[in-house]
Structure formats: structure tokens, C-alpha cells
Amino acid sequence: MRALILVMDSVGIGAAPDASLYGDEGAETVGHVARTCVLGQADSNQREGPLRIPNLVDLGLGEACRLATGRVPPGLDGANISPQQFGCASELSKGKDTPSGHWEIAGVPVPFDWGYFPRTIPCFPSKIIERLCKEAALPGVIGNRHASGTEIIDSLGERHMRSSEPICYTSADSVFQIAAHEETFGLERLYDVCAVARRLLDPLNIGRVIARPFVGSSKGGFRRTAHRRDFSVPPPEPTILDACEVDGRDIVSIGKIDDIFAHRGTGRNGRGDSNDALFNCTLDGLNSLADGGLLFANFIDFDTLYGHRRDVAGYAAALEAFDARLPELMARLKSDDLLVITADHGCDPTWSGTDHTREQVPILLRSSAQTSPIGKRVGFSDIGATVAAHLKLAPLRHGVPF
């Protein structure tokens, strides 16, 4: 008897009830990707035809979309899907960011507002930058604005390599990102700078400091690497991971889960530089997961490579690639295992801007013990509560088991 939580990062299924407060009323990541593919409006050089994700459909993704929006996206109709198998949830936490979504999935809604940086140039407080340069022995920083990571690295990468000034930027999330060249600046030095920034930004309640290493030699040839590291604040309360650790359970975390939870209760971690590599790590982790254990995985490509870059064709291809590998996972599950597939927020690639979108998320289950319909849930914490009940752990403070 084991439990798995797979987070398809940013795979939202329709605007949350409070989406208008975020400028996201009408956002619908999965639905808009599916409709764009059917209409042939996705880049024809990258794909042709409708979205094909039969395994997710069989798990109830289309019906979860119906719960969230009142309609099933084109091509996602499925027959004889049990209501015990699918549902949807809207977030209680105020942010539409990665830590808030994951913490709430793990049973801890975020009760406070994160700190954010203004859309000015420069956007970071001068005293923070002065202290960062002094304490991290930097000649200065460049960027200092809201930006797309790939674009600002392409624009300022050559200057950074000449001057050793790291590229600092932010987004609509509560985040301070530092990009530096792995070879000319050094990976460990970048991590050290981020650790200093993490300490300096704690009083501002900034959720994450992210190291964004890259390689390449000139504009147009820079590429971010898989050595990203998030320096996050820890969750304010015990999560399902903490509950498992306290009870001596086996824990496997995949991808950036260990960073998101500030390496608290995250057990053995598997890393990969793509969704495909992360799926391999998930299979390996499942093979070694002891009875009573928890595997918690994040699949990041949907969000980072395609959602933020507003690449509909790429997003569709990523969904299809993930779907194609699900049978491998299903074949390795034991009869009493619980599998939950969900998401942490949306990032509609048809939406304006490059930020996350405030959306409901799917809840897709594979469980022989499931007996009652999941339906529409208020809060993601019901997922953590269900996992705790399945693993026969003490109930979490938040959430109601399905």
C-alpha cells in the first residue's frame, strides 16, 4: 500500500471562481490547447491534428474539465468514467505560484500574502542589491526588472560573461531569480550568491530565490541547464511529507519537489532535465518505494518550456508525451496503491502575458479503495488529506479525504 502524487505543473482546467481578481477570467489551459489543436491554429510546423491524450481521458481528465467549466474540450470525451475517479479543485491560497499550489496539495494552504516586486525599472530595492553585492563580493548586477528568463539571458548573457555581474530578474510570482553562466561564473558560486539573497530577502517574504544557470557562448546560443536550484522558505505547517517522515515512512521526491519544500521531509530525490527524464526517475523511485511510502513528483516542462513561452504546439506535444508514458506507470502499480494526478495552477499558453493563470486543477485517481464521488473541491488540501487516510497516517490539520 503506497501513494503517489504526480503534479503536471501548470496543467489547469479552467478559471478558478476568483480568477477575475487576477485578470484570468476565461483562462483554461487544457481546453484552449485542445481547441487550438482542433482548429489547426497551433504552429503547423510543429504539429497537426487534435490533441491525443487517451490515457488521461480514461482517467477522467475530460470529465474533470466538464466539472470545472461545464464542457469537455474537443477530443477529450471518454465513456463510462466513474465519478469516483475524477474531480477538480480550486485553490484557497491567495497566490497562483508553485509553492502555494504544492504546499496546499500537501495539506497546507498558504494563509498569508507573499511579497512581490513592483513593475518598475529597477524593480529591486537598492539597499538589497547593495548588500547582495557587498556580501557576495559581486561587481554589480544587471537586469533588475521583470522579464522572461530566456529572453533576458539571451539579451544580457554576453555582457554577464564579460563583467561577471549576475543577471537578476523577477516575474509576477514572489521570486528573485539569478542567472549566471555555469562555466565563466561557476555553478557553486551562483548557489552561494543565491543563499545570500535568500537571507537578505526573508524580511520581504519573497517565496523563492532561484538559481538559473546557463551555458553557451553568444546571443542566440545560450541554454538554461538542469542545474536550477530553488531556495524556498519552508511551509508554515507540517505537510504530508512531514507526516510521513515523522512516522518513519519511505519518501521519494522527484524533480523540484525537494526545493519547493525547502528539503524538509523530501526523502530521496530524483532529478531530470526533462519531463521524460523525470518520468524515468518516477519509475525508478516507484520500484524502490517501500510499502507505506509516498512518492511526490513534479513535471515541470509544461510550465517552464511551453506555458510561460506561450507555445501551444509545444504544450500539446508535452501532454501527449506524458500521456504516452502513463501505461508504464500503471503496469507497475500494486492493487492497493493510490495514484493521484493533479496540477498546481494554470499557465494558459493562449493567454496574454507570460505569467501563471489562476485556474482550477484536475484530480485524477487510480485507487481500488475509492468509493465516493470526488466532485468539485474547495481547496487542494483534500488531496493531502486523502493520501494521509490511504497511508493510515494521523489526519492532517487541513482538508477532507475523498
Burial of residue 94 (number of CB atoms within 10 Å: 0-12, 13-18, 19+):
middle
Going by their DSSP bridges, the two strands 251-254 and 229-232 should be labelled as: unpaired
Question: In the prediction, which pLDDT does 46 show?
Answer: 63
Of 359, 320, 325, 365, nearest in space to 343 by CA: 359
DSSP letters for 347-375: --TTSSSSS-B-B-EEEEEE-TT--S--E
**CA distances in angstroms from 81 to 56, 225, 373, listed in the order given:** 11, 40, 11
| Direct distance between the N- and C-terminal alpha carbons of the chain, in angstroms, rounded to an integer | 17
Q: How far apart are CA 270 and CA 255, in angstroms?
A: 6
For the chain, the domains span 3-111+236-390, 126-232
Question: In the prediction, which pLDDT does 40 show?
Answer: 72
Question: In the prediction, which pLDDT does 83 show?
Answer: 87
Question: In the prediction, which pLDDT does 171 show?
Answer: 87
Question: pLDDT tens string for the chain (402 positions)?
Answer: 999 999 999 999 999 999 999 999 999 999 999 999 988 766 655 667 899 999 999 999 999 999 999 999 999 998 788 888 999 999 999 889 999 999 999 999 998 889 999 999 999 999 999 999 999 999 999 999 999 888 999 999 999 999 999 999 998 889 999 999 999 999 999 999 999 999 999 999 999 999 999 999 999 999 999 899 999 899 999 999 999 999 999 999 999 999 999 999 999 999 998 999 999 999 999 999 999 999 999 999 999 999 999 999 999 999 999 999 999 999 999 999 999 999 999 999 999 988 899 999 999 999 887 678 899 999 999 999 999 999 999 999 999 998
The answer to whether the beta carbons of residues 384 and 237 sit under 8 Å apart is no
Q: Which residues contact 85 (CB under 8 A, 6 or more apart)?
A: 59, 60, 364, 365, 366, 370, 374
Going by their DSSP bridges, the two strands 294-299 and 375-378 should be labelled as: unpaired
Arch. (CATH architecture) of 126-232: 2-Layer Sandwich (3.30)
The answer to whether the beta carbons of residues 109 and 379 sit under 8 Å apart is yes
Q: Which residues contact 304 (CB under 8 A, 6 or more apart)?
A: 9
Is it true that the peptide bond before 122 is cis, omega within 30 degrees of 0? yes
Joined together, the cell numbers standing for residue 20 give: 477575475
The number of residues making up the chain comes to 402
**CA distances in angstroms from 382 to 207, 290, 394, 402, listed in the order given:** 23, 24, 14, 7
Question: In the prediction, which pLDDT does 41 show?
Answer: 66
* Phi-psi category of residue 93: left, alpha or beta, with phi > 0 → left and psi -120 to 50 → alpha: beta
Kind and range of the H or E element at 215?
strand 208-215
DSSP state of 166: P
Domain 3-111+236-390 has CATH 3.40.50.300: no
Question: In the prediction, which pLDDT does 369 show?
Answer: 77
Q: What are phi and psi of 365, to 5 degrees?
A: -120, 145
